[in-house]
Each structure stands twice: as C-alpha cells, then as structure tokens.
Amino acid sequence: MDEFQLIDRFFKPLSRPADASVRLGIGDDGAVLVPPSGCDLVMATDTVLSGVHFPTDCSPRAIGHRALAVNLSDLAAMAADPLWYTLALSLPSASARWLRGFTQGLSTLSAEAGIALVGGDTVRGPLAVTVTVVGCVPRGQAVTRTGGRPGDWVCVTGALGRAAAGLAAWRRGQRRGATLVPFLYPHPALEWIPLLRDFAHSAIDISDGLIQDLGHLLENRPLGAEIRLDRLGCDPEDLEGLERALWGGDDYVLCFTVGSRQWPALQRRIRSRNLECRAIGRIVPGPGIRCQGVMARRIHPIRMQGYDHFRNKVPRARHVRPSPR
C-alpha cells in the first residue's frame, strides 16, 4: 500500500463530498471551502502523541477518536459549530488493520459532530496525530476565556475526574469496562454550543484539570473563584476521587461562567434538553481559587498546578497529594 492508495482507501471516505461548504476536498494542494456568511471562524489545533496523550498500547480506534475529540472540545468551548478538519498523521508503518480502526474512531465522531475531513498529510515517523479544526459562530458570538464577572456562577458540564479514574484503572492493567470509557473515548460537549452562545460569559474546556483550567478563566484579571467541594459530586470520604476531580486532566467537560440573573433561564434550558450541569462555585473579586465545604480543610492549600509539557515530567492526570498542614 503506497501513500496515495492509503489516502484513497482510508481518508477520502471521511471527506463527505456532499457537504456544500466543501467546494473541493482531499486530493489537491489544498481544500477549497466556502465559509458561511455572517460568521466568524474559530480555528484550533491539538497534537496527540503516543505515550504522552494516550498509552502506547491504546487501540487505534481510541486514538482516532481522541485526536478529533480534543479538537472538537476546543470548538465547543468557543461555542463554534464544527465545519472542517485536517489531519496530519505520523505513522511508523502503513498497517491496514491499524488504519481501519483509526479511521473508524475518526469517522464515528466526525459523523456525530458533522465535521468534514478536508485535507491531510501522512508521513512515516513516530506515532503522532495533529488535527486542526475550523468551526463557525455567528459574528461576535464566540465565547472566550475572558468574559467572567464577579458573582457569576462557575459551572461544569459533567462529572470531573472520571478520565483520571479511567487512566488509573488502565495503569492497574484493566483493559475492559465502563470505567475506561471516559478516559479512552472523551466526549466533546458539542450539545452545549447553543447554550454557551446564549448564556455563558466565559468558557474553557477542562483538558489539564479543573484547577489549572479554571485558573485560565481568571488569568490576568483581578478575579478569583470560590469552589464548593460538596458540589463536585465526589464521595466525601474519597480524598483520591476529590483530587482527581480538582487536578485530573482529560475530562473535556466544559467549565463556564454565567450571570446569576440568567441562571434560572439556563436551568430551564438544561432541563428541557436533559443535560448535565453542576454549579460548583462563584467568581469573586480578588485573585486565587478558594475551596469551601467539609473537605476543604483536608486539601488546603490548593496547589495551582495542572499538566505542563515542559515543566512537569509526571504523567497527565497524576494524583497530587496535598501538603499536610
């Protein structure tokens, strides 16, 4: 199988030529695309590497899913509808079996998200996948990290720490079961896009842990947050679970802020759409993230840490033991 056969067999079927916004898809020097009128575009890129973002013995299907999911999550966090993506794949060898699994992982999620593959590059090298996504949002309605205001509710769109629990199970040798799903097949919160546009003052997706990513919503602004630990949905006796909820990465739930006046209307929309949402705290004036609740004493002081590729050599979703007081 040569490079061109590989593209024809595995990647062209992902290109959805029926999409009217794709004038010309895979197979030329570039794709020709028609941007929707009256929209801003949102563009993001993320790489997943074997042994860093997924275990070396991870299934190709989970790798394909993850590479697209983490990028779709960025679009969701900006409240942008997915349009197109490109795929840069570095692969040690062209195994048809591996490629079948990988493209299944991509195609299931891309069909769900309504996003078309429009270009790519396949090279021989260490296993790494870079996806670049483009989405659209009505002009001026992108939700950014910087719009939070004092008094806003801090909300998350799902349970936290489940990916870290899945990773821990994987490390213990577990290879089947529901515990692994949030880790192997993270769900980008695309169903939240219209609600974010209508209600959110600011938003981010939680890839590096709640504390670090909530920190990005407060960064360079005279703002802090108070988090009610009892609202995270953790067992009060399970300190490890709480730590995963605060510092665990890879959950890809959204963290957003909403004004307290809009909160009742948002709650109605959430109920009517049967979505999961937890209001876990409030934005407050003055810097720092403070925790409240019966467990707070056990974890203070919160260390403002998350995953950093060049500072930490510890693996993602590690468990930070709080320093004893």
Q: Site for its own copies (CB under 8 A): which residue of 17, 96, 111, 123? A: 123
d(CA 29, CA 49): 26
Q: Is 84 in the site for its own copies (CB under 8 A)?
A: yes
Q: Site for its own copies (CB under 8 A): which residue of 59, 104, 108, 144? A: 144
DSSP 160-194: SSHHHHHHHHHHTT--SSGGGHHHHS----GGGHH
* Residues 156, 210 contacting (CB under 8 angstroms): yes
Q: Is 109 in the site for its own copies (CB under 8 A)?
A: no
Nearer to its own copies, 73 or 242 (CB): 73
Q: Residue 53 corresponds to which tokens in the numbers above?
A: 């973002």
Task: Round the CA-based radius of gyration of the chain to a whole number and report it.
Answer: 20
Q: Site for its own copies (CB under 8 A): which residue of 58, 62, 115, 137? A: 137
Q: Is 42 in the site for its own copies (CB under 8 A)?
A: yes
# of chain residues touching its own copies (CB under 8 A): 70
Pairing mode, strands 278-285 and 223-228: antiparallel
Q: Is 221 in the site for its own copies (CB under 8 A)?
A: no
CA atoms 16, 22, 23, 25: torsion sign: negative
Residue (of 195, 46, 194, 19) closest to 110 by Cα position: 19
Nearer to its own copies, 140 or 324 (CB): 140
d(CA 208, CA 205): 9
Q: Is 34 in the site for its own copies (CB under 8 A)?
A: yes
Residues that bind its own copies (CB under 8 A): 1-4, 6, 23-24, 27-35, 37, 39-47, 49, 52-53, 73-75, 77-78, 80, 84, 86-88, 90, 93-94, 118-126, 128, 130, 132-135, 137, 139, 142, 144-146, 203-205, 308-311
